[in-house]
Structure 1
Amino acid sequence: MPNITVELLSGRTLDQRREFVAAVTDSAIAILGAKREAVRIVFTEIEKSDVANGGV
């Protein structure tokens, strides 16, 4: 069973998440041979102020 954890900056809409879930699930089925009902995706939202890129 693929367990996929996704960290996203907050602010994505429910429709965006649903579209993402559909695409990732389809990819897991096609590439990993997973069954649709076995694919689990967990989102963790983070605030932009909690992220630093390039030491900044």
Structure 2
Amino acid sequence: MPYVNIQVTREGVTAEQKEQLIAGTTDLLWQVLKKPPELTFVVIDEIDTDNWGHGGRSVTARRREAQRKPPAA
């Protein structure tokens, strides 16, 4: 019984895109591992950018800074 957890930042992922992720993930597990779709669980978590970080800083802070920087010449 596969369980797949997909985490994305909460930035407008549509219901249609989520359906595609669920269907595609389920299909991939069937194609590669022959795991029955009816026993495959896919959960999508949407995480606020304030709660998602890397390199010691949140995605929100990184994007805010990127908007302030002038484009490289």
Q: Give the TM bin, normalised by the shorter chain.
A: 0.7 to 0.9
- Tell me which stretches of 4 or more aligned residues in structure 1 moved more than 6 Å: none
Corresponding residue number in structure 1 for 2:32: 31
TM-score, with normalisation over the residues of structure 2? 0.70
Structure 2 distance, partners of 1:35, 1:51, is: 32
Corresponding residue number in structure 1 for 2:15: 14
Structure 1 distance, partners of 2:52, 2:37, is: 32
Q: Mind listing any 5+ residue stretches in structure 2 that lack a counterpart?
A: 58-73
Percent identical: 27
Q: CA deviation at 1:39?
A: 0.8
Question: Which structure is larger by alpha-carbon Rg, 1 or 2?
Answer: 2
What is the aligned residue count?
Answer: 56
TM-score, with normalisation over the residues of structure 1? 0.88
CA deviations on 1:4-40 (whole Å, 9 max, x unpaired) are 1111111211000001111111100011110111110
Q: Mind listing any 5+ residue stretches in structure 1 that lack a counterpart?
A: none
